[in-house]
Amino acid sequence: MKKRHLIALAAMATLGFSAISASAQAPDWKKIRIGVEGAYPPFSEVGADGKLKGFEIDLALAMCAEMKAECTLVQQDFDGLIPALQAKKIDAIIASMSITDERKKAIAFSNPYYNTPARFAGKAEAKFDFTPAGLKGKKIGVQRATIHEKFVAETFKQSNIVRYATQDQAFLDLKSGRIDLTIADLVAVDQGFLKTPAGKGFAFQGPSYDDVKYFGIGSGVGMRKADEKALAKKFNDAIAAVKANGTFKKLNDKYFEYDISAK
C-alpha cells in the first residue's frame, strides 16, 4: 500500500474517532440539573416538610415534563448559582434571574418567562425622598449578587448599603429596625413580606423601577454559553408550550393576583 494511502486512512480514522468522541460527549439533555434558590417566596422556598415549593419550582417541573427530561433540583444560594453553573455542578438556573447585558457576558439565557418591576419596602408611616440626596445615610438592605444590589449601589451612592445572602434576611432586619428600607422584586416584597404577619406595619415605598439597564427584560433560564445552541431551544420550546397549553396561567393564578408573564 502506498504511503499516501496510509496517510489518508490514518486521517480518516482520526476524523472518525473524533466524531465518535464528540458524539459521545455531547449531552442528550434527558437529564438536567437545575439550580434553584429555595429562599425567595413565593417563587421558591423550602416548605415545613423540607421540600422545595413555589411558582418557579412548579414551573421548572412543568417545563421538564414538556422536554421529557428527568430533572434534579439543586438548591443553592443565589450568589453561588452562576459559579455553580460554570463549574458544571448544575446545567441550568431557574431562580428569578433577570436577563441583563452584564449577565449575558458570562452566561446564556432562554427567552424571558416573567417580568415584574422592583419596589422598596419600609415602615408604612415613614416618609422618604427617593433621590440620592434624600436617602443619604439611610440603611438599605439588598440581596447580594442581584440586580437590586447593583441598582442601589450605583443609584444611591450616599446610602449605607447592607448586603444579605438571602432576601428573607433583609426582611428580618427591616422588621427588627436594623435597616430603613429593602428593595426586591415587587412580587417578592408583596407576597414574601408585606402580606405575611411579619409585614404588618410596613408598606411599599417609592416608585416602581424597571430600567432595562439594571433590571433587564425579565427572568429567564440561565445556562452555559457552550450549551446554548441545544439547551436554549429546549427551554424556549418548553416555555412556549406551557404558555400555550394554559399551564403557565394556572400556576400564575395559583400564586399571584396579577399577570406576571413576560410579554
**Confidence check: pLDDT of 204 > 70:** yes
**Confidence check: pLDDT of 17 > 50:** no
Q: What is the largest CA-CA distance in the chain?
A: 93
Taking only the tens place, the pLDDT of each residue in 30-85 is 999 999 999 999 999 999 999 999 999 999 999 999 999 999 999 999 999 999 99
Q: Which pLDDT does position 4 carry in this prediction?
A: 44
Q: How far apart are CA 235 and CA 97, in angstroms?
A: 15
Q: Which pLDDT does position 7 carry in this prediction?
A: 44
- If one counts every other C-beta atom within 10 angstroms of the C-beta of residue 52, the result is 19
- If one counts every other C-beta atom within 10 angstroms of the C-beta of residue 84, the result is 16
Amino acid present at 159: S
Per-residue pLDDT, averaged over 77-103, amounts to 97
Q: How far apart are CA 105 and CA 228, in angstroms?
A: 13
**Confidence check: pLDDT of 3 > 90:** no
pTM (2 d.p.): 0.86
More confident residue, 141 or 25: 141
Task: State which H helix or E strand residue 182 sits in.
Answer: strand 181-185
Share of the chain above pLDDT 70, in %: 90
Q: Which pLDDT does position 26 carry in this prediction?
A: 61
More confident residue, 1 or 46: 46
Q: Using 50, 70 and 90 to split pLDDT, how confident is the model at 150?
A: very high
**Confidence check: pLDDT of 14 > 50:** no
Residue 257 DSSP symbol: S
Q: Which pLDDT does position 263 carry in this prediction?
A: 77
**Confidence check: pLDDT of 1 > 90:** no
CA 169 to chain CA mean position, Å? 18
Residue pointed to by grid coordinates 434558590: 37
123 beta partners: 202
What is the SS3 assignment for 117?
coil
Cell output for 131: 433621590
Taking only the tens place, the pLDDT of each residue in 216-262 is 999 999 999 999 999 999 999 999 999 999 999 999 999 999 999 99
Q: Which residue, among 260, 259, 234, 251, has the nearest Cα to 65 in the 3D structure?
A: 234
Q: Which pLDDT does position 28 carry in this prediction?
A: 87
Cell output for 129: 425622598
